[in-house]
Structure 1
Amino acid sequence: MLQLVLFNLTNGLIVGAFYVLMALGLSLIINLSNVVNFAHGNFLAIGGYLAYTLTPYLGFWGALLVSPFLTAVFGYVIEKLLIRHVYARNHIYSLLLTFGLGFILQDACRYLWGPSPLPLGIPDILSIPVTADLFFVTWYRVFMVAIVIAAVGGLFALLRYTRVGMRIRAGTLDLDTVSALGVNVAALRSYNFAVGSFLAGLAGVLAAGQIGLNPNMGDDLIMPSFIAIIVGGVGSLTGTLLGGLLIGVAAALTTVFYPAGAEAVIYIIMAIVLLIRPRGLLGEEGMLT
């Protein structure tokens, strides 16, 4: 029984790590641009497929480094061509635009790489279990957690210690004042969208090495990522981090005792949090911490 709990707890941490990367990218975009990007899960798929394409030429390590940056460039271009035109419009326009964009990107992946699942090869050394007793904990899982921790730490350092990061944080509080001070808000939004896309692309590469690739792979992560933002609190990256880990672990542990309720439990957690604290665990309207 103990091994079963540890197995599901490990799975919960891994899934929670994916939720964290996805939700942090979504939260960045929502906080600064007020755009709910329903196509964010498809950026994850693009990151994974780019890694699959580049691996024969660059190897796994090279693809891991390059693919998230290519996804960020792709996100930057999409923001320039499409997303920026709905900033001044009603929120329904951004919802419809990103919802439709998600279908387009999904079909593009299906056309370019086919509808069948594809494996992303990982180095043999990462497939080895850490210990014989904990055979389900491979070095790849440890590696994924380490990469997520490094990415989250890098993001918080970017926002706290760089000029662009400080402007993003200020923009979430009062974008009009930031613009009045001479900051190029259009460029700031584009850069911010690229950072969010980078996190999705990184999550896609890591997920592809764990569960493989398919055109719909982002669909299973996008809604829990939104829930992580709601649970943690819109406007709080720290809350989003906490929310992602909380729902990932809760769903995994529920699988041990009541598998049928594994998916429902994250919605129950969201409902309880909204009833007790409508702004989320650490949320404060308009605040990015």
Structure 2
Amino acid sequence: MELLLLQLLNGLVSGAFYALLALGLALILSLTRIINLAHGGFLVVGAYLGYVLSGLWGFYWALLLAPLGLALLAVALEATLLRPLYRRDPLESLLLTFGLALVLEEVIRLVFGPVGVPFRIPEALGSPLFPGTPFFFLTRYRVLVIALALLAGLLVFLLLRYTRLGLYLRAGAQDREILSALGTDVGRLSTLAFALGAYLAGLAGVLAAGQLGLSPAMGTSLLMPSFVALILGGVGSLGGSYLGGLLVGMASGLAGQFAAAASEFAVYVILALVLLVRPRGLFGKEGFFE
């Protein structure tokens, strides 16, 4: 029973990373119709930026500032590289973001080296909440990861549901052309969505670095389950993508209890079963790309 709870907790922590990434992907996709293959590269840049800032000012400042720095970088990249492709063939933006992902990863290798490095967290966060009990594996850092992922999801929901900016973002996700015809600067909304999506990737990167360590290829290993979460939750549904990330993580963790090799396999089995019954995902919108 204790081992099962440990696997479930590990899966929930992984699911927190997937949920943040999937939510960022969904935000960018909803406004720009771009499938951002560079999102894993953004996570890596955010993680290493957190590593640098942590060495200068400590972990908590890194956790606060690294996602903001990544968001600013994403705004610059969106304005210079991606914005001209919004009205062109989607394949062009797909190839561009794929190339951008390779460039970002290679830059990280050149600056920090190809070998992974440990990311130190405050000693207090690494200690168990309940030492000497069957729940010794529940560390303060794992609780922090889950709490911040839940808080980020809640704040995005409140932003979209109860603010004027959120109203415009939701309207832009429904119909960019009509919103533009009404005089709204849709390009600025797309930039804001891109920045918010990158911020979530940066937050996931710093948190994942503290749990998994740093490596230039860490973005790829986290990005694929996040795309699965995006599809599982439903393309066009922000809440569905977020919940899909948590489900993917927990399913992977539970499957790992029975066989280590089954953790990744189980995720794709669940995805296939869901798509057989509901092709647009659990909460997806019909005709999203039309």
Residue number in structure 1 paired with 2:140? 139
SS in 2 for 1:284: coil
Q: Give the aligned residue type for 1:9.
A: L
Per the TM alignment, residue 259 of structure 1 is displaced from its structure 2 partner at its CA by 2.0
Residue number in structure 2 paired with 1:96? 95
Residue number in structure 2 paired with 1:266? 267
Counting aligned pairs with the same residue, the percent is 50
Unaligned runs of 5+ residues in structure 2 are none
Residue number in structure 1 paired with 2:108? 109
Q: Give the aligned residue type for 1:126.
A: L
Mark the CA change 1:144 to 1:286 in structure 2 (over 3 Å): closer, same or farther: farther
1:14-29 equivalences in 2 (<5 Å): 14-29=13-28
- Partners of 2:73 and 2:270 lie apart in 1 by 34
Q: Give the aligned residue type for 1:279.
A: R
1:191-229: CA deviation from partner (whole Å, max 9, x where unpaired) = 110000000000000001111111111101111111101
1:57-94: CA deviation from partner (whole Å, max 9, x where unpaired) = 22111111000000100111110011112111111111
| TM-score of the aligned structures, taking structure 2 as reference length | 0.96
Q: Give the aligned residue type for 1:110.
A: R
Residue number in structure 1 paired with 2:9? 10
SS in 2 for 1:262: helix
SS in 1 for 2:58: helix
Per the TM alignment, residue 285 of structure 1 is displaced from its structure 2 partner at its CA by 3.2
SS in 2 for 1:218: helix
Instruction: Work out whether residues 172 and 286 of structure 1, in 8 Å CA contact, stay in contact via their aligned partners in 2.
Output: no
1:1-289 equivalences in 2 (<5 Å): 2-131=1-130, 132-133=132-133, 134-285=135-286
Q: Give the aligned residue type for 1:34.
A: R
- Partners of 2:228 and 2:92 lie apart in 1 by 21
Instruction: Work out whether residues 42 and 70 of structure 2, in 8 Å CA contact, stay in contact via their aligned partners in 1.
Output: yes
Instruction: Work out whether residues 46 and 71 of structure 1, in 8 Å CA contact, stay in contact via their aligned partners in 2.
Output: yes
Instruction: Work out whether residues 19 and 226 of structure 2, in 8 Å CA contact, stay in contact via their aligned partners in 1.
Output: yes
- Partners of 2:242 and 2:99 lie apart in 1 by 28
Per the TM alignment, residue 56 of structure 1 is displaced from its structure 2 partner at its CA by 2.2
- Partners of 1:11 and 1:286 lie apart in 2 by 36
Tell which deviates more after alignment, 191-200 or 82-91: 82-91
CA RMSD of aligned residues (A): 1.1
- Partners of 1:60 and 1:179 lie apart in 2 by 42
Per the TM alignment, residue 286 of structure 1 is displaced from its structure 2 partner at its CA by 6.4
Unaligned runs of 5+ residues in structure 1 are none
Per the TM alignment, residue 141 of structure 1 is displaced from its structure 2 partner at its CA by 0.3
Instruction: Work out whether residues 31 and 286 of structure 1, in 8 Å CA contact, stay in contact via their aligned partners in 2.
Output: no
SS in 1 for 2:218: coil
Q: Give the aligned residue type for 1:73.
A: L
Instruction: Work out whether residues 52 and 120 of structure 1, in 8 Å CA contact, stay in contact via their aligned partners in 2.
Output: yes
- Partners of 1:276 and 1:266 lie apart in 2 by 16
Tell which deviates more after alignment, 218-227 or 130-139: 130-139
- Partners of 1:202 and 1:184 lie apart in 2 by 28
Instruction: Work out whether residues 21 and 201 of structure 2, in 8 Å CA contact, stay in contact via their aligned partners in 1.
Output: yes
- Partners of 2:94 and 2:42 lie apart in 1 by 16
Instruction: Work out whether residues 15 and 248 of structure 1, in 8 Å CA contact, stay in contact via their aligned partners in 2.
Output: yes
Moved over 4 A (4+): none
Mark the CA change 1:286 to 1:174 in structure 2 (over 3 Å): closer, same or farther: farther
Mark the CA change 1:183 to 1:286 in structure 2 (over 3 Å): closer, same or farther: farther
1:204-258: CA deviation from partner (whole Å, max 9, x where unpaired) = 0000111111111110111111110111111111211221111111111111112
| TM-score of the aligned structures, taking structure 1 as reference length | 0.97
- Partners of 2:48 and 2:286 lie apart in 1 by 36
Per the TM alignment, residue 283 of structure 1 is displaced from its structure 2 partner at its CA by 1.2
Per the TM alignment, residue 124 of structure 1 is displaced from its structure 2 partner at its CA by 1.0
- Partners of 1:33 and 1:59 lie apart in 2 by 35
1:96-135: CA deviation from partner (whole Å, max 9, x where unpaired) = 0000100000000111111111122111110111112222
Instruction: Work out whether residues 71 and 198 of structure 1, in 8 Å CA contact, stay in contact via their aligned partners in 2.
Output: yes
